[in-house]
Structure 1
């Protein structure tokens, strides 16, 4: 009895397993299909991203500048030096020996102030002797005049006394003028920049004696400009003055422009007045950038961005994600920038970096 029952149970189990097998396979198939759909979606997404990356990789990186109107100037650049309006080497008017020095280097002096005294002993004695004679002649003249006023004496006596007095006055005046020439005076107000005289030194008229007076409150820049710019540089032109040794930069105007071309240097002198500044010193180097052209509403691009062919010059601009070649006409060039006369307009985005290998129509990335 036990064996038949066991056999029947085993048969029922096998029959049940055999009926579940198709259901399991169907479920597995459905699961695989779902996984395939998910994989396909991921594959499509990655392919799209790879395609986009490849497309972007083909774009060329560039840097652009958007054009707008601005002032543009070109310059004539020359080197000059700082000079004093009043820079004087003092010279004696008469020969003599130095007996006293009343000024020293760095001292401020006024116009007419005595700087040096020359030996005038003989002249002073002559002045004193002549003064005595004049005093006597004056007394004689006054007495003769009183007598003449009373109709006493002759007219000849009166005129003789008057002539002697006036003659001595003229002699004394001339002698005092000669004596005054033995005092070396400052011709200007300023600072003693050099004083190389020594006591006992002999000096001669018209010869430098080592005294220089400088008025540092009135300075200017002097420069020589080539005759090529004779028609471009004029008095009143704007100029940028650079003093590298200070350093300092300032804007001014040309205060003087010579009308004559020097036959040796083939240039002409210009001057620019400087404001008072304690740091400015005569003979400092100065760089002048004289404005010879101005356009207040110019379109300007870097010179390096302009390319040239045999028949034209051109730039690339960025337009709708692509490089576009545009023929232009340039004008003046200054400080690495060029004025654009035609071909571009305000708002154009000129490619200033990365244009070297571009062709018209290439894709670009800003």
Structure 2
């Protein structure tokens, strides 16, 4: 059908009217919905207020209308509870020595290097001993003459020829030279610096060609045996720890552990950090080296008949510590006196007997006398 130009304005006006009517209807519906939501919120708030007032005025109504909270439970237990002191210690050696020169001279050789492990008697350094060697050569020549004169004088004395004084002088000269020669040979031995025992060279403090004097420090040397662990313990444990106490030792770097005992307890408190020293015996273990870090667990308390609960279930308010227990489908608030805590468990001294069922998951949502529904675990 062909529409003439004269009808087009009328059609446009009709469409415009329909569009405006539709838009007005949508806005009206939106306004009506907002009004209903506002009324609903006001009614809900009024219901809550009235319910709260009824719960305060009528406990039976409160109990009947209280919603059950879904929870899980845990069992309080009675048994052995142990507490440990955990501290960091360091492996040390009783054979940690500073090796010094015993004679003067120039360093000719230094085979030792830092970090080298050597056996007992290994050569660490050599000191120039030419003058000592010349003294030995001279004394040996004098010894040859003295021995010859003594032997001749001894034969004459045996034949009762000569005087006793001549024989004793020859003997004394010979023995004096022997003592001198032994002394100089000892000095010669000191020119060679050797390891006093098997161990590791920590530091080398001399250089090739350097002139040293008796007493000059040359090496810091640490033995591989006679190792022990030293740790600093807080002064609050004075009197608690004693020699012979059991110790669990672990070495995080090599993933090894062992059980040993306290070998010594310090008698002095360090005024800087308020701690005292504790030494722990360390048997010989492969891969354990001096200065290695260790973790010590020292038992300082035990109770063979303790009430034990998970530490995270204990809450606190102005009155004290408490936990929630389940009695007949209702959560009950029980105030407790806690003892020591270790490894996520806490000893309970008073408040429960150890056979209670505790509120576990959901313990922060419940309150005293709240209805609870235990979920299947």
Which bracket does the TM-score occupy, shorter chain normalised? 0.7 to 0.9
Could you tell me which of 68, 84, 87 is aligned with 1:78? Answer: 87
How far apart are 1:354 and its partner, in Å? 1.9
How far apart are 1:161 and its partner, in Å? 0.9
2:317 & 2:113 partners in 1: Cα distance? 69
Q: Report the TM-score when normalising by structure 1.
A: 0.75
Could you tell me which of 62, 67, 71 is aligned with 1:58? Answer: 67
Match of residue 163 from structure 2: 154
Q: Report the TM-score when normalising by structure 2.
A: 0.73
2:182 & 2:107 partners in 1: Cα distance? 24
Query: Which has the higher Rg, Structure 1 or Structure 2?
Result: 1
1:302 aligns with 2:315: no
Match of residue 222 from structure 1: 230
Match of residue 19 from structure 1: none
2:264 & 2:197 partners in 1: Cα distance? 22
How far apart are 1:173 and its partner, in Å? 1.8
Match of residue 245 from structure 1: 253
Could you tell me which of 279, 286, 290 is aligned with 1:282? Answer: 290
1:56 & 1:247 partners in 2: Cα distance? 57
Structure 2 unaligned blocks of 5 or more: 1-63
Match of residue 92 from structure 1: 101
1:121 aligns with 2:116: no
Could you tell me which of 114, 134, 147 is aligned with 1:138? Answer: 147
2:122 & 2:86 partners in 1: Cα distance? 42
2:316 & 2:106 partners in 1: Cα distance? 75
1:153 & 1:217 partners in 2: Cα distance? 62
Q: Report if aligned partners of 1:217, 1:277 keep a CA contact under 8 Å in 2.
A: no
Choose 352-361 or 175-184, whichever is displaced more: 352-361
Match of residue 203 from structure 1: 212
1:144 & 1:339 partners in 2: Cα distance? 94
Q: Over aligned residue pairs, what C-alpha RMSD do you find?
A: 2.7
Match of residue 235 from structure 1: 243
For residues 56 and 206 of structure 1, do their structure 2 counterparts lie closer, same or farther at Cα, with a shift above 3 Å needed?
farther
What's the CA shift string for 1:169-221, capped at 9, x where partnerless? 22112212222221111111124455564432223333332x34333455332
Q: Report if aligned partners of 1:239, 1:290 keep a CA contact under 8 Å in 2.
A: yes
How far apart are 1:311 and its partner, in Å? 4.3
How far apart are 1:121 and its partner, in Å? 0.2
1:97 & 1:323 partners in 2: Cα distance? 87
> Secondary structure of 2:363's partner?
coil
For residues 346 and 115 of structure 1, do their structure 2 counterparts lie closer, same or farther at Cα, with a shift above 3 Å needed?
same
Match of residue 371 from structure 2: 363
1:343 aligns with 2:376: no
Choose 267-276 or 228-237, whichever is displaced more: 267-276
How far apart are 1:104 and its partner, in Å? 5.0
Structure 1 unaligned blocks of 5 or more: 1-54
Q: Report if aligned partners of 1:304, 1:352 keep a CA contact under 8 Å in 2.
A: no
1:115 & 1:320 partners in 2: Cα distance? 81
What's the CA shift string for 1:65-106, capped at 9, x where partnerless? 212233322222322222234333322222221113344556
Choose 309-318 or 229-238, whichever is displaced more: 309-318
How many residues are matched? Answer: 311
Q: Report if aligned partners of 1:305, 1:353 keep a CA contact under 8 Å in 2.
A: no
How far apart are 1:231 and its partner, in Å? 1.0
2:111 & 2:155 partners in 1: Cα distance? 48
1:168 & 1:229 partners in 2: Cα distance? 64
1:278 & 1:56 partners in 2: Cα distance? 69
Q: Report if aligned partners of 2:251, 2:293 keep a CA contact under 8 Å in 1.
A: yes
